Amino acid sequence: MSRKAQYNLDDVLSQSIDVFLEHGYHGAIMDEIIARTDFNRRGFYLEFGSKQTFLYTVLAHYQETQLNKIMHHLESNQGLPSIQAYFADYVKHVSGKGCLLINTITELGFDDEKVREVGRHYLDRLQIDFIGCLEKAASLKQITPNTNIESTALQLTSYVQGFAVNAVLAGDTDELELATQALLGPLAR
Partner DNA sequence: ACACTACCAGAACGTACGTTCTTTTTAGAT
Partner DNA sequence: ATCTAAAAAGAACGTACGTTCTGGTAGTGT
Query: What is the contact surface with DNA in residues (CB under 7 A)?
Result: 1-7, 26, 28-31, 40-46, 49-52
**Could you say which residues in the range 59-78 bind its own copies, by CB under 8 A?**
none
Name the residue nearer to DNA (CB basis): 44 or 87: 44
Residues 6+ positions from 91 with CB-CB distance below 8 Å: 163, 167, 173, 176, 177, 180
Q: Does 82 bind its own copies (CB under 8 A)?
A: no
Q: Does 163 bind its own copies (CB under 8 A)?
A: yes
- The number of beta carbons lying within 10 Å of the beta carbon of residue 112 is 18
Yes or no: say if 63 and 101 are a contact pair by the CB < 8 Å rule: yes
Q: Does 178 bind its own copies (CB under 8 A)?
A: yes
Show the DSSP H helices in 63-148 as ranges.
68-76, 80-94, 100-108, 113-139
Name the residue nearer to its own copies (CB basis): 29 or 60: 29
Q: Does 160 bind its own copies (CB under 8 A)?
A: yes
CA distances from 33 to 38, 43, 137 (A): 9, 13, 44
Name the residue nearer to its own copies (CB basis): 12 or 100: 100
User: What does 148 interact with, of DNA, its own copies, none (CB < 5 to 8 A by kind)?
Assistant: its own copies
